[in-house]
Amino acid sequence: MLSLASLSLSGGQGKTTVAVLLSKYLARAGYTVLVVDADPQSNLTTFLKHSVEPDQPTLLELYRKQVSLEDATYPTETENLFLIPSDDGLDQVQDYLASSGVGALALGKRLEPAAGVFDVVVIDSPPQRSQICKSIIGATHQVIIPCEATVKGYGSLVRTIEAISELKEDGASRAEVLGVIPFRDRWVGRTRTKESEMVIGEMATEVGEKTMFPSIRESEKYKQAISQGVLLEDLGTPDLAYPFEALIDRIQEVLK
């Protein structure tokens, strides 16, 4: 089993967009996928059309060891795709993790039973550098960093890499950066805007060309695909799926 976190330490960087669409493309490629909503904003849970009932276990109860992984896992409308949902109550786990002393290890431990059942686990992250983020970096094998093709996005990339390095130095993480995906890359006709061009160049200097993935272009189609529960091909824009095809190729190499 391979775990992948979609992580970037600022708001609106494309984390949930990447987590939802990557999970669906992986499921379509035949992998059995568990997607974990580790953000109290719970956008991913909403996008997968899951509504949390008051008496149903979520990631919060799994973190607290009140339920098993199986009890917190639900099927989705997509074949091969399963969800551990969240709601805003997940915020309560911050104190639990802070006081537990081994917060960075908690999520990895709770996800261990997924190894025999799922091929890939995809984790969606909150934007702040928090206890939850620490536990995601501690749990995951690989990190995908989406970051807006803006100066803010570049800052998010730098802070995310720093956070991963710090936990690795402390021996609390084994995470590798699988790739960086520029998000909302802007083009006018056949020309990339100057800001996108400059920022994506700086990102490549920061992490190396080999770590850069094809960008997610500025387009309403991604939002539409997610809200309609379909893939980009279904909207007649297969070319926009290119970043996800490239990600799946890399993931297949890692899984070998």
The site for ligand ATP (CB under 6 A) is made up of 8, 11-17, 39, 41, 43, 127, 184, 216-219, 222-223
CB of 248 to ligand ATP, least distance (A): 18
Q: Enumerate residues 30-89 that contact Mg ion by CB under 5 A.
A: 43
- Between 20 and 172, whose beta carbon lies closer to Mg ion? 20
* Site membership for Mg ion, residue 184 (CB under 5 A): no
* Partner in contact with 76, chosen from ligand ATP, Mg ion, none, beta carbon below 5 to 8 Å by kind: none
Using CB distances below 5 to 8 A depending on partner kind, what does residue 128 bind out of ligand ATP, Mg ion, none?
Answer: none
Alpha carbon 22 to its chain centroid, in Å, reads 8
Q: How far is the CB of 13 from ligand ATP (least distance, A)?
A: 4
80's contact among ligand ATP, Mg ion, none, with CB below 5 to 8 A by partner kind, is none
Distance CA 48, CA 225 (A): 12
Main-chain dihedrals φ then ψ at residue 158, nearest 5 degrees: -65, -45
Choose the contact partner of 208 out of ligand ATP, Mg ion, none; CB within 5 to 8 A by kind: none
Q: Can you count the helices (H) and strands (E) in the chain?
A: 10, 10
Minimum CB distance to Mg ion smaller for 44 or for 172: 44
Of the candidate residues 4, 15, 45, 186, the single one contacting Mg ion (CB under 5 A)? 15
If the CB atoms of residues 47 and 63 are measured against ligand ATP, the closer one turns out to be 47
With vertex at residue 41, the alpha carbon angle to CA 113 and CA 118, rounded to the nearest 5 degrees, is: 20
**Cβ–Cβ under 8 Å, residues 207 and 161:** yes
DSSP β-bridge partners for residue 4: 122, 142
Greatest alpha-carbon pair distance for the chain in Å reads 54
- Residue 198 or 229: the one with the smaller Cβ distance to Mg ion is 229
Name residue 177's beta-bridge partners.
143
CB of 115 to ligand ATP, least distance (A): 26
How many residues line the site for Mg ion (CB under 5 A)? 3
Using the minimum distance from each CB to ligand ATP, give the nearer residue, 149 or 248: 149
Strand 81-84 with 33-37, pairing: parallel
What is the nearest approach in angstroms of ligand ATP to the Cβ of residue 242? 12
Minimum CB separation of residue 152 from Mg ion in Å reads: 15
- What's the token pair of residue 52? 């949390």
With CB under 5 A as the contact rule, the residue among 6, 16, 42, 131 that binds Mg ion is: 16
The string over 159-190, giving b where at least 16 C-beta atoms fall within 10 Å of a residue's C-beta and e elsewhere, is ebbebbeebeeeebbebebbbbbbbbbbeeee
Round to whole Å and give the CA distance between 232 and 69: 31
Three-class secondary structure of residue 93 per DSSP? helix
Interface with Mg ion (CB under 5 A): 15-16, 43
